[in-house]
């Protein structure tokens, strides 16, 4: 596997999480910081991909369109903000989102409330990736959002 050397910056609370996952000297598990970070990111990406696959049949294209609208203006920067996606969608519905996207607003909010944190994270991550593609000039279809 090809690897690339990078320099990263992270907050101290994140570094503490990395250190907690480093093995003690003499143990077989890799103890270097880079391996811990790479392994942790690989696990994260695997987990959200699995959650995303489970979401594919649960949302219509119109519902995804409304979620993309929300992700385009709402800031989900902190880990706890992810848990509030249904509140952001409810705010968009109050501003006419249900009519714009022709969705059953209350039903969509209930769907979002029923999601686990990992599923909400996967949905937001998918929306952000879709918006990044569109921002680069690609024209992804709505039904590609959860791919």
Q: pLDDT tens, position by position, for the chain (147 residues)?
A: 788 988 999 999 999 999 999 877 766 666 788 889 999 999 999 999 999 999 999 999 999 999 999 999 998 989 999 999 999 999 999 999 999 999 999 999 999 999 999 999 999 999 999 999 999 999 999 889 999
What is the reported pLDDT for 30? 61
Residue 142 · residue 61 · CB < 8 Å: yes
Distant-in-sequence, close-in-space partners of 127: CB < 8 Å, separation ≥ 6: 67, 68, 70, 71, 145
In angstroms, the CA 62 to CA 43 distance is 31
pLDDT value at residue 29:
61
Instruction: Break the chain into its structural domains and give their ranges.
Output: 12-55, 61-144
Q: Whole-number mean pLDDT of the chain?
A: 92
- Give 101's contacts (C-beta < 8 A, 6+ positions apart): 62, 63, 65, 66, 69
| Confidence at residue 28, expressed as pLDDT on a 0 to 100 scale | 63
What pLDDT, on the 0 to 100 scale, is given for residue 32? 86
Separation between Cα atoms, residue 89 and residue 111, nearest integer Å: 11
> pLDDT by residue (tens digit) across 53-93?
999 999 999 999 999 999 999 989 899 999 999 999 999 99
C-beta atoms surrounding 43 within 10 Å: 10
Q: Is 71:82 a contact under the CB 8 Å cutoff?
A: no
């Amino acid at each position: 596997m090809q690897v690339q050397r990078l320099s990263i910056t992270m907050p101290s609370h994140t570094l503490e999480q990395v250190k907690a996952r480093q093995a003690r000297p003499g143990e077989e598990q890799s103890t270097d910081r880079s391996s811990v970070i790479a392994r942790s990111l690989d696990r994260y990406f695997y987990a959200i991909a699995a959650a995303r696959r489970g979401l594919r049949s649960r949302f219509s294209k119109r519902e995804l369109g409304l979620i993309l609208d929300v992700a385009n203006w709402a800031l989900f920067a902190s880990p706890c903000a992810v848990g509030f996606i249904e509140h952001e969608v409810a705010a968009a519905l109050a501003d006419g989102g249900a009519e714009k996207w022709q969705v059953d607003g209350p039903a969509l909010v209930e769907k979002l409330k029923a999601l686990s944190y990992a599923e909400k994270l996967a949905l937001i991550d998918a929306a952000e990736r879709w918006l990044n593609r569109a921002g680069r000039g690609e024209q992804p279809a709505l039904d590609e959002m959860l791919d």
